[in-house]
């Protein structure tokens, strides 16, 4: 067993606080990482507060992990001590179902093992995430971080990055296409960067007039304030693809109406209540409504390499772990541009 220190929520009502625990003993196929940085995802708030169904406690969140390899098992071939490596949203899957065999482990038929709050198959306990000083993961679910990437700004790529990269790739977004991005938050700002890098004409839709200039800075060719009905009408029947990153309640029909014939709207934001979809929004021009969920390990590695080649990273605010509860409150209010990342060196203050 390996002694570990992290920050955990003891109950749905409690704040995150220092938590001493033990990681499982490393197996021959395992990589042991010293965690350097961990991104703060809005889903961390939802799970820590048991807002997506019954969470398991104690809950150590964190699934946007970048670290340095401390040691590897004898069966590990792709990593060695000292390498920069990463762990995303999942740390295992069944590996034998059709989805796993095709590199789509996120859709494992038996359910992927999530980085925190999932079943720890070696111990029978639960997985603890990246708000901690170390993590032990099977090599098959560990990613290599290109040396040209800033490790702190790379951390959110493991969730916010792949969540937006994957659908843009799956729907073959590229030159000659008009692509809409709905929402400019942790997901949306990455979607704008990727869509622009893929060569599409990018139009950002935001409810915040104050984000217009930021949207253009991040790569949008045009920015539309979605509350302006006249502006919205100008874009009817004109988009090949729209990526909706908004997790708050909103009128999805307003965006479906912007698709041209055979256009697709892909939902990656997770509103708390079902969205009301009018059949008329879909049938008239054979429009499609789809969804997407993170990406497989191979696609996530591809995304990291793409980011290194194109100089893409998240816009981040670096924080100490002791500030995580205040960061949660700011995240709920949308007060971050555009992703908090924890400098895990700050955890040493709690180690004494």
In 143-293, beta strands by DSSP E = 143-144, 178-182, 201-206, 222-225, 239-244, 259-267, 288-291
Confidence grade of residue 54 (pLDDT, cut at 50, 70, 90): confident
**Domain 161-291 carries which CATH code?**
3.40.50.720
Q: How far is CA 297 from the centre of its chain?
A: 13
Tell me whether residue 97 is exposed, middle or buried, using C-beta atoms within 10 angstroms of its C-beta: 0 to 12, 13 to 18, 19 or more.
middle
**Domain 2-159+315-350 carries which CATH code?**
3.90.180.10
Has residue 351 got a pLDDT over 80? no
Residues above pLDDT 90, as percent of the chain: 92
Q: What is the DSSP letter of 168?
A: H
List C-alpha distances in Å: 16 to 6, 60, 283, 324. 9, 8, 47, 7
pLDDT tens digit sequence for 108-159:
999 999 999 999 988 889 999 999 999 999 999 999 999 999 999 999 999 9
Tokens in use for 186?
């942790």
Cα–Cα nearest to 260, from 169, 172, 193, 180 = 180
Predicted confidence at residue 236, as pLDDT, reads 95
pLDDT tens digit sequence for 198-210:
999 999 999 989 9
pTM: 0.95
Q: Cα separation of 287 and 265, whole Å?
A: 8
Higher pLDDT, 52 or 6: 6
Average pLDDT of every residue of the chain: 96
Has residue 272 got a pLDDT over 90? no
For the chain, where do the domains classified as CATH 3.40.50.720 start and end? 161-291
For the chain, where do the domains classified as CATH 3.90.180.10 start and end? 2-159+315-350
Has residue 65 got a pLDDT over 80? yes
Q: Cα separation of 215 and 150, whole Å?
A: 22
Whether the CB-CB separation of 260 and 236 falls below 8 Å is answered with no
Confidence grade of residue 352 (pLDDT, cut at 50, 70, 90): low
């Amino acid at each position: 067993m390996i002694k570990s220190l992290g920050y955990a929520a003891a109950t749905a009502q409690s704040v995150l606080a220092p938590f001493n625990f033990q990681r499982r003993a490393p197996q021959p196929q395992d990589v042991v990482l010293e965690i350097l940085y961990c991104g703060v995802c809005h889903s961390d708030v939802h799970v820590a507060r048991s807002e997506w169904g019954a969470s398991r406690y104690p809950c150590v969140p964190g699934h946007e992990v970048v670290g340095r390899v401390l040691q590897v098992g004898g069966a590990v071939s792709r990593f060695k001590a000292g390498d920069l490596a990463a762990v995303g949203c999942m740390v295992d899957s069944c590996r034998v179902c059709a989805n796993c065999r095709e590199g789509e482990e996120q859709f494992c038929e038996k359910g992927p093992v999530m980085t925190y709050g999932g079943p720890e198959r070696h111990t029978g306990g639960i997985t603890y995430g990246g708000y901690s000083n170390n993590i032990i993961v099977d090599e098959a679910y560990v990613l290599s971080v290109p040396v040209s990437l800033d490790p702190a700004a790379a951390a959110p790529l493991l969730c916010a990055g792949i969540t937006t990269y994957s659908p843009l790739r799956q729907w073959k977004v590229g030159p000659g296409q008009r692509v809409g991005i709905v929402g400019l938050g942790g997901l949306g700002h990455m979607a704008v960067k990727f869509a622009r890098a893929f060569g599409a004409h990018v139009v950002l839709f935001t409810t915040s007039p104050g984000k217009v200039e930021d949207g253009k800075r991040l790569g949008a060719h045009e920015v539309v304030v979605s509350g302006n009905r006249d502006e919205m009408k100008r874009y009817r029947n004109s988009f090949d693809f729209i990526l909706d990153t908004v997790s708050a309640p909103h009128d999805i029909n307003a965006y479906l109406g912007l698709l041209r014939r055979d256009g697709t709207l892909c939902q990656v934001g997770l509103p708390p209540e079902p969205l009301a979809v009018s059949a008329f929004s879909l049938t008239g021009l054979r429009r499609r409504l789809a969804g997407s969920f993170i990406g497989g390990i191979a696609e996530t590695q591809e995304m990291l390499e793409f980011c290194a080649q194109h100089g893409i990273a998240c816009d981040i605010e670096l924080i100490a772990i002791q500030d995580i509860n205040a960061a949660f409150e700011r995240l709920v209010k949308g007060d971050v541009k555009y992703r908090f990342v924890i400098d895990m060196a700050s955890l040493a203050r709690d180690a004494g």
